[in-house]
Amino acid sequence: MAAKGRVTIREVAERAGVSVATVSRVLSGNYPVPPATRTRVMRAARALDYVANAHARALVGGGRKMVAVVLRQVTSPFYAQVAEGVEAEAAARGWLCLVGTTGGNPQRELEIVQLMREEGARLVILVGGVVEDDAYRERVAHYAQALDSSGARLVLCGRQAPDPDIPALVVEFDNEAGAHAITGHLLSAGHRGIVFLGGLPGNTALDARVAGYRAALAQHGLPPEAAQVVDCGLGRTAGHRAMAELLVGTREFTAVFAGDDMVAAGALRAIAEAGLRVPDDISVVGYNDIPLAEDFNPPLTTVRTPAEELGRAAVRIALHDPEHAAGAHHVLGTHIVVRDSVAAPPSGRAR
Amino acid sequence: MAAKGRVTIREVAERAGVSVATVSRVLSGNYPVPPATRTRVMRAARALDYVANAHARALVGGGRKMVAVVLRQVTSPFYAQVAEGVEAEAAARGWLCLVGTTGGNPQRELEIVQLMREEGARLVILVGGVVEDDAYRERVAHYAQALDSSGARLVLCGRQAPDPDIPALVVEFDNEAGAHAITGHLLSAGHRGIVFLGGLPGNTALDARVAGYRAALAQHGLPPEAAQVVDCGLGRTAGHRAMAELLVGTREFTAVFAGDDMVAAGALRAIAEAGLRVPDDISVVGYNDIPLAEDFNPPLTTVRTPAEELGRAAVRIALHDPEHAAGAHHVLGTHIVVRDSVAAPPSGRAR
DNA sequence: TTGAAAGCGCTAACAT
DNA sequence: ATGTTAGCGCTTTCAA
């Protein structure tokens, strides 16, 4: 058996009675080797339980197939799905997947991108919306340029490139269209007082949803003042608290459009706690269609954003046509999933 | 600016007018270097936007700090939390985190472990219960031995070591105790007809829960036939379907103990669809206490298994005391979280 | 204080 | 058909 430490190609060569070159050749399989020696080598490798040293391989071969996903957290159902899509697509091509979480900390994001560069990731996928300020723009420009100059590629998933000239691939959903559609759904059901719960000024994804919401309101002939945006941010807890607060006063609304399904979950609970029913008393819609949205009580009407597909698309596009991928902008479609959380406003309250 | 490809230490050395050795020294910072040269080198590195090549570094330095998590999927809230715990604890120590998903496929698991070995992961964490057959036992024994012989470490999270002599660290919850406790909670509320929804014979985690459930029943003086185990496996969908089927016949139960919270989610929906109310008509409890369990309608009474802590503990213990970690077995405590999904059985139905 | 040089494990010419 | 050898980028003796 091997001494301490990993078995190297040399030990395999010795045991098989051949040179390291021969071992390398049969292992990589891209070179004609007589079956006889081939078997000898394989047998030796197996006996020693040899595993190649990926570092040495990468060093000489110019890096290995590895993609890095960096996201705020993996416990958000939406992000988790994106990560799963990335991992699945990568794995299907024999690529490895490194993950890093930032907790929303820009400094940490920078460190992680740096780390991924050191590791030689050929694809760095940044997932999730962010507040887009000058610091952000500068950071992303730097990532893109640095990655690009070393032959790697930056992919922005669900966030925009600060500048179209930046060598980054952008893959995202049309948040504005999705928000517009679902607001329209609420409007069609007769609602006029619709509050948007979960704004986060500066966050590109949320801002776009708010824009879609306002546009839909306007298109239905409502005045700008009809828009009621509560900037409570995302998350179950935020949704719960904000909804609870909304419920104490005189209600100026009959429906709520939650910024995402987690906010909707919190809002639903606050409504139930207030002794009100959905959709009889208040209609609620969400965004993203996380798997559990179907099991909410009542099942949630929401906008389906195929998150796993977003992740898959990110790596597929980036890997398929690397040249074209730089600077490209892909928008994935979304659609409404109608379930049971929307009804006509309670009679007497429709305005 | 750099030519095509990554900037190397040599280019930095040239620009700074020193040797590569000097650059290496200031970069690693573990060697006295005069401030003057130090600054020169730093400036050059910065100007070139140099990032070290982790492969070269690992090659000479004998591997790098990397932990690998392999799990069935990341979109399960429970697994996602474990993964987050692992990543967080690893990151806090400056370690990298590689993830791989198996989709429950043993063959794939084997490939991934192999890959992680090639990458030189110093910790391979296998997460989640599995059906424990002979093939599994053999596989794990091989992983452990192989990893151990190359100085790496195997951690089993939420699954048992097939043999106590195997050099693997086991970190898991006491499933039997948790199940016993929550079954007791149902029993105390007056329920006698309790069905366990989500058995998966051969799966160690589920089997333990079923055992705890049976033990609690027995302890309350109920005959063995009182146990009603539905082996529908895990998942929202399975829970929904199985519950729906259960609801068509004459009900022999007043409460359901779902194998995990996702099963509970599906069951809750099936109950609502049948026009029944929880907990008035049927009480429901889950397992794991995923974040969304609090937002279920009604909020779910369940067993809290601190998943993120499980992940953190796995790396903490493995890294803290490597010697002792081999063959160690850590059991993390769980406790019941009482919310609103349990009530006394409807009068006239309590037996 | 700094440089030269020897590898780390592997692959890919280049020889034989 | 197979062996020899020159690096890949870096760290680390060993010299100077």
What is residue A4's predicted lDDT score, i.e. its pLDDT?
A: 58
Q: For residue B186, what are the CA distances in angstroms to A97, B200, B218, B264, B339? A: 43, 22, 14, 15, 12
Strand nucleotide closest to residue A32 (CA to C1'): D1
Residue A2 has pLDDT above 60, yes or no: no
Arithmetic mean of pLDDT, A223-228: 97
Across the interface, which of A75, A118, A308 has its CB nearest the CB of B54?
A118
Q: Say what the pLDDT of residue A327 is.
A: 74
What's the mean pLDDT when you consider all of chain B? Answer: 92
Mean pLDDT (whole number) for A51-69 = 91
Question: What is the percent of chain A with per-residue pLDDT over 70, rounded to a whole number?
Answer: 96
Q: How far is the CA of A158 from the C1' of C10 (A)?
A: 39
Chain C, protein-covered positions (CB within 7 A)? 1-5, 7-13
**Using an 8 Å Cβ cutoff, are A63 and A122 in contact?**
yes
Distance of C1' in D8 from CA in A55, Å: 10
Q: Using CA atoms in the order A306, A309, A311, A312, what is the torsion angle rounded to 10 degrees?
A: 180
Residue A97 distance to chain B (closest CA, Å): 6
Please report, rounded to whole angstroms, the spatial distance between the CA atom of protein residue B22 and the C1' atom of nucleotide D9: 15
Which pLDDT tens digit goes with each residue over A118-127? 999 999 999 9
Does residue A305 surpass a pLDDT of 50? yes
Give the DSSP H or E segment for A68.
strand A66-71
Please indicate whether residue B324 or residue B24 has the higher confidence score (pLDDT): B24
pLDDT for position B131: 79
Structure confidence by residue, pLDDT tens digits, B293-317: 999 999 999 999 999 999 999 999 9
Say whether the CB atom of A54 is under 7 angstroms from strand C.
no
Distance of CA B336 to the CA centre of its chain: 19
Integer distance in angstroms from CA A67 to C1' C4? 37
Please give the backbone phi and psi of residue B311, each rounded to the nearest 5 degrees, phi first.
-65, -45
Instruction: Give the model's pLDDT for residue A1.
Output: 36
3-state secondary structure of A182: helix
Handedness of CA A170, A94, B168, B262 (dihedral sign): positive
Which residue carries 């600016």 as its tokens?
A: B1
Q: What are phi and psi of B213, to 5 degrees?
A: -65, -50
| Cβ-proximal residues to B166 (8 Å cutoff; 6+ apart), any chain | B140, B141, B144, B145, B327
Classify residue A38 as exposed, middle or buried by CB count within 10 Å of its CB (0-12, 13-18, 19+).
Answer: middle
Is the distance between the Cβ of A10 and the closest atom of strand C smaller than 7 Å? yes
Proximity of residue A32 CB to strand C below 7 A: no
Q: What is the mean pLDDT of residues B226-230?
A: 98
Q: How far is the CA of B54 from the C1' of C7 (A)?
A: 17
Q: Measured between beta carbons, which residues in chain A are less than 8 angstroms from residue B74?
A: 74, 80, 83-84, 87
Average pLDDT over residues A176-204: 96
Q: Is the pLDDT of residue A38 over 80?
A: yes
B228 touches strand C (CB under 7 A): no
Whether B320 has a pLDDT exceeding 90, the answer reads no
CB contact (8 A) between residue B118 and residue A298: no
The count of CB pairs under 8 A between chains A and B is 165
- The one-letter amino acid code at B212 reads G
The separation, in Å, between residue A70 CA and nucleotide D5 C1' comes to 41
Neighbours of A107 (CB within 10 A): 9
A336 touches strand D (CB under 7 A): no
The CA-to-CA distance between both ends of chain A, in Å, stands at 82
Tell me the C-alpha distance between A262 and A143, whole Å.
Answer: 31
Q: What value does the mean pLDDT take over residues B191-215?
A: 96
Nucleotide nearest to B55 (CA to C1'): D9
pLDDT of residue B3: 45
Collapsing DSSP to helix, strand or coil, A42 comes out as helix
Compute the distance between CA of residue B2 and CA of residue B4 in angstroms, rounded to an integer.
6
The pLDDT value recorded for residue B4 is 59
pLDDT in tens, A338-348: 999 999 999 86
Check B96 against A119: CB less than 8 A apart: yes
| Cβ contact A297–B297 (<8 Å) | yes
A332 Cβ contacts chain D strand, under 7 Å: no
> Separation of CA B11 and C1' D6 in angstroms?
21
The pLDDT confidence band at residue B324, using thresholds 50, 70 and 90, is low
Q: Name the minimum distance, in Å, from the CA of B219 to any CA of chain A.
A: 34
Per-residue pLDDT for B323 more than 80? no
Using the predicted structure, report yes or no on whether residue A93 has a pLDDT greater than 70: yes
pLDDT band at B350 (very low <50, low <70, confident <90, very high): very low
Beta-carbon contacts of B349 under 8 Å, excluding residues fewer than 6 positions away, are: B254
Task: Check A5 against B88: CB less than 8 A apart.
Answer: no
Higher pLDDT, A106 or B196: B196
Percent of chain B with pLDDT over 70: 96
Burial classification of residue A251, based on how many CB atoms lie within 10 Å of its CB (0-12 exposed, 13-18 middle, 19 or more buried):
middle
Q: Which residues in B95-130 are b (16+ Cβ under 10 Å) and which e?
A: bbbbbbbbeeeeebbeebbebbbbbbbbbbbbbbbb
- Res A329 pLDDT > 50: yes
Residue A323 confidence (pLDDT): 66
Q: Cβ–Cβ of A149/B49 closer than 8 Å?
A: yes
Facing B114 at nearest CB: one of A51, A118, A265: A51
- Residues from chain A that touch B97, judged by Cβ atoms under 8 A, are 98-100
Q: Which nucleotide C1' is nearest B19 CA?
A: C3
- Rounded to an integer, the average pLDDT of A198-219 is 95
Nearest-nucleotide field for B24 (CA, C1'): D11
Considering only CB atoms, B120 lies closest to which of A55, A298, A299, namely: A55
DSSP string spanning B101-115? E-TT-HHHHHHHHHH
Q: What is the DSSP string of B245-285?
A: HHHHS----SEEEESSHHHHHHHHHHHHHTT--TTTT-EEE
pLDDT at B1 over 50: no
Dmax (CA) of chain A: 91
Q: What is the mean pLDDT of residues A50-67?
A: 90
CA distance B107 to chain A (A): 14
Residue A132 is predicted with a pLDDT of: 80
pLDDT digits (tens, 9 = 90+) for B40-97: 999 999 999 999 999 999 999 888 899 999 999 999 999 999 999 999 999 999 899 9
Which segments within A161-254 are labelled E, that is strand? 168-173, 194-197, 228-230
Type of residue found at A209: R
Mean pLDDT in residue range A274-282: 97
What's the whole-number mean pLDDT along residues B140-146? 90
Smallest Cβ–Cβ distance between A120 and the set B55, B81, B298 belongs to B55
CA dist., res. A214 & res. A187, Å (int): 12
Q: What does the block give as tokens for A271?
A: 């409504």
**Chain A CB contacts of B77 below 8 Å:** 75, 77, 80
Has residue B126 got a pLDDT over 60?
yes
Helix H or strand E segment including A126:
strand A123-127
Q: What is the pLDDT of residue A3?
A: 45
Partners of A51 on chain B (C-beta within 8 Å) are 114, 117-118, 146, 150
The whole-number pLDDT of residue A322 equals 65
pLDDT tens per residue across span B327-346: 789 999 999 999 999 999 99
Nucleotide of closest approach to A61 (CA, C1'): C11
The residues that bridge with B332 in the sheet, in sequence order, are B173
Distance in Å, residue A20 CA to nucleotide C13 C1': 15
In this complex, the answer to whether residue B59 has its CB under 7 A from any atom of chain D, a nucleic strand, is yes
pLDDT of residue A61: 84
pLDDT at residue A78 tops 80: yes
pLDDT at res. A222: 97
What pLDDT does A350 receive?
A: 46
Q: What is the DSSP letter of B340?
A: S
Averaged pLDDT for residues B99-110: 90
User: Using one digit for the tens of pLDDT, what is the confidence trace for A234-245?
Assistant: 999 999 999 999
Res B99 pLDDT > 50: yes
- Top-ranked range on mean pLDDT: pick from A112-116, B118-122, B212-216: B212-216
Check A77 against B73: CB less than 8 A apart: no
- pLDDT-derived band at B129 (thresholds 50, 70, 90) equals confident
From chain A, pick out residues whose CB is under 8 angstroms from the CB of B6: 150-151
Region A219-245: mean pLDDT is 97
Average pLDDT in the A246-273 region?
A: 96
Q: Where are the alpha helices (DSSP H) in B62-203?
A: 77-92, 106-119, 134-149, 175-188
Please answer yes or no on whether B294 and A4 come within 8 Å at the CB atom.
Answer: no
- Better-predicted residue by pLDDT, B4 or A47: A47
